[in-house]
Amino acid sequence: MTIDELLKFIDCAGALNGDYRVRARERRNLEFKVDMDANCVAKSLKTIAAFSSSGGGSIVFGVRDRPRELVGVNNQMDEADVQNQLFAHLYPVPDIELHQFDVGGRAIICLIVFPVIRKPVIAIKDKQTAAQQNQTVLRAGTVYFRRAGQTKPITGEEFASILEKRDERVRSDILNFIMRGKDIGFERAVVADFRRAGPEDNRPTLYVPENEAHRLNIVDRAKLIESEGAPAYQISGTVELTIPSEKDPRKPMLPEKAARVLRPRIREKFGDAFPWTSQHLRKAATQLGFWDDPKGDRVHTGHIEVNGSPVYFEQGRAAIERFANRTTSEFVEAVGSKETIQSWNAVYDQQG
């Protein structure tokens, strides 16, 4: 990440009267902290866990609230200390990167959190803030998730969507492995183990069938040959046509139709005044992680190959409906505007 990319990411155009105003709001993949001392990092652990259980995110240290502007950090914990906190309190341990920038004489730290492969990340140990604050900011056994720019314990539907996508990825990996082995013949397949490959041990282990080992040539050096200009590559193979929507067993629907199909259930639950459009549908699906991949997760959401239009599959529509029925307040928080959330909370308080 460069300084220009950071300023664009947080929507900070530049100095105004010596102040660097930040127009971006905290969201599903962004959080702000005013400092980076031990307590601020401790309070950030659950957000790191939440980011890594979804599509990743960034925590920007050195941003003051009210007004939101860049002020710079007074304290800074180095990356090794942050990693130690992650290893002590979270599993699986998320991968992170720390980037430091000087913006108008202010030290700004951006902590980038990458999504883990084996979701979800679970807190394995309680964490309290230090000194006299003594506040529990992380509870063992809890999975955290982002909702409306806040980090909270995960709901059942959010947890179920993570497991569904994880299981589908495992099934897909297994199927792809089997199909590749079928194509080349398992008796000829070579397995490469990269688990311990790294700076100190950068030689992965190859498991080669004995009858094929004598035919294996190891390329030590290679030379790229260009002829009459830049190198060209020819890709040849079969062309697979996409399944027509009416024959797709996943029953895809375009966003407007999917929202229209769900609208009677939403109104039955929340009333006629509750807004529900394809944009609200998108917010609910995003909250459940169905759009972590821009092309969809291929279980709940996807896109039409020909024109790139997003679609919602039957399983995704059902999951969104369960989300609305099982975790009402969290659903309103995920899809509603500030005014919608306030009006719903007022109704909820009167009913409660």
DSSP 302-337: EE-TTT--EEE-HHHHHHHHHHHHH-HHHHHHHH--
Confidence of residue 117 (pLDDT cuts 50, 70, 90): confident
Domain spanning 3-154, CATH architecture: 2-Layer Sandwich (3.30)
Eight-class DSSP state of 55: T
Exposure b/e, 13-41, CB count within 10 A at least 16 = b: eeeeeeebebeeebebbbbbbebbbebbb
The whole-model pTM stands at: 0.66
Cis peptide bond prior to 67, omega within 30° of 0: yes
Rounded distance between C-alpha atoms, residue 67 and residue 282, angstroms: 30
Q: What is the chain's mean pLDDT, rounded?
A: 82
Q: What is the model's pLDDT at position 58?
A: 95
- Structure-model confidence comparison of residues 343 and 202, the more confident one: 343
User: How many alpha carbons lie under 13 Å from residue 85 in its C-beta half-sphere?
Assistant: 24
Rounded distance between C-alpha atoms, residue 111 and residue 109, angstroms: 6
- Structure-model confidence comparison of residues 339 and 222, the more confident one: 339
Identify whether the C-beta of residue 77 lies closer than 8 Å to the C-beta of residue 38: yes
For range 18-24, the mean pLDDT: 85
Q: What is the model's pLDDT at position 241?
A: 42
Rounded distance between C-alpha atoms, residue 302 and residue 305, angstroms: 9
Q: What is the model's pLDDT at position 16?
A: 61
pLDDT at 328 over 50: yes
- Structure-model confidence comparison of residues 114 and 179, the more confident one: 114
Q: What is the model's pLDDT at position 36?
A: 93
Rounded distance between C-alpha atoms, residue 121 and residue 111, angstroms: 17
Q: What is the model's pLDDT at position 237?
A: 43
Rounded distance between C-alpha atoms, residue 341 and residue 105, angstroms: 39
- Structure-model confidence comparison of residues 224 and 173, the more confident one: 173
Q: pLDDT tens digit string along 224-265? A: 455 565 554 443 444 344 455 666 788 999 999 999 999 999
Q: What is the model's pLDDT at position 63?
A: 93
Rounded distance between C-alpha atoms, residue 72 and residue 22, angstroms: 13
Q: What is the model's pLDDT at position 215?
A: 60
Q: pLDDT tens digit string along 52-103? A: 998 899 999 999 988 899 999 998 888 889 999 999 999 999 999 999 999 8
Rounded distance between C-alpha atoms, residue 50 and residue 43, angstroms: 12
- Structure-model confidence comparison of residues 309 and 232, the more confident one: 309
Decide: residue 46, CB within 10 A, 0-12 exposed, 13-18 middle, 19+ buried: buried
Q: pLDDT tens digit string along 259-286? A: 999 999 999 988 888 889 999 999 999 9
For range 23-40, the mean pLDDT: 92
* Amino acid present at 71: V
* Amino acid present at 246: E
Nearest to residue 148, comparing CAs of 316, 287, 323, 319? 287
Nearest to residue 54, comparing CAs of 286, 280, 279, 283? 286
% of the chain with per-residue pLDDT over 70: 79
Q: Which long-range contacts (CB under 8 A, 24 or more apart) does 126-131 make?
A: 127/42, 127/45, 127/85, 127/89, 128/42, 129/39, 129/42, 129/43, 130/38, 130/39, 130/42, 131/39
Q: Which residue has the tokens 């179920």?
A: 160
pLDDT at 178 over 90: no
- Structure-model confidence comparison of residues 179 and 88, the more confident one: 88
Q: Give the DSSP H or E segment for 261.
A: helix 255-270
% of the chain with per-residue pLDDT over 90: 38
For range 185-199, the mean pLDDT: 66
- Domain ranges in the chain are 3-154, 246-351
